[in-house]
Structure 1
Amino acid sequence: MAYFMLRAQFSCPFYDDRMSIGWTYLPAATEYVAKNAGQSCGLLIADFIGDTDKIWPRTQIFAMWGLLLLFYVAAVTFVAMTVVRLMDHVRDN
């Protein structure tokens, strides 16, 4: 559940995928967002031609990408462990 909450908060839809984002706009993006208030982050990324490095600091993007990856791996591992334990429990009974 935490993975999906983080994914919704720190990624934006861009075409048929999602892109990791930061939390602090760069100066050019701050100015652009002020002029285009209420625009979705997906449209913001499209207006910057998909170049998120011009919207958020690269370190923030990589940090969020790494955190999302870590949560995804943890979620998949947890589900796999749960399935294996459930199968083991069913087999023993």
Structure 2
Amino acid sequence: MKTIATSLIISFALIGAAQADNAPFPGVYGKTYSSTSRAQVQAELQQAKHDGLVSRGDIDNAPFTAQADSDVSRAQVAAEVAQQPGAVAFGDSDNVPFGG
């Protein structure tokens, strides 16, 4: 039994060695993808950055700007709300609980 196992291991090792090829991977079906040099790619990247075509992070991320102070006091706002019938000072006025 040991001789059969040993012969199988040796045969698989020889098959594996015969299949080994040191050639680099040629790509998909040997196709070359680009003929541009590294310097050309870097120059195109710098031009795209200069033109504003390259973004990093969130493009609509605006820095926080505080609202301008209002000259209306809390008491004035509360008085205006009290004068309007059915006015809601906070929350959702048409919020109806689920009735299902």
TM-score tier (shorter): under 0.3
- Using the size of structure 2 for normalisation, the TM-score is 0.22
Whichever structure has more strand as a proportion of its residues is 1
Whichever structure has more helix as a proportion of its residues is 1
Higher normalized contact order (CA 8 Å, seq sep 6+, divided by chain length):
1
- Using the size of structure 1 for normalisation, the TM-score is 0.23
Q: Which has the larger radius of gyration?
A: 2
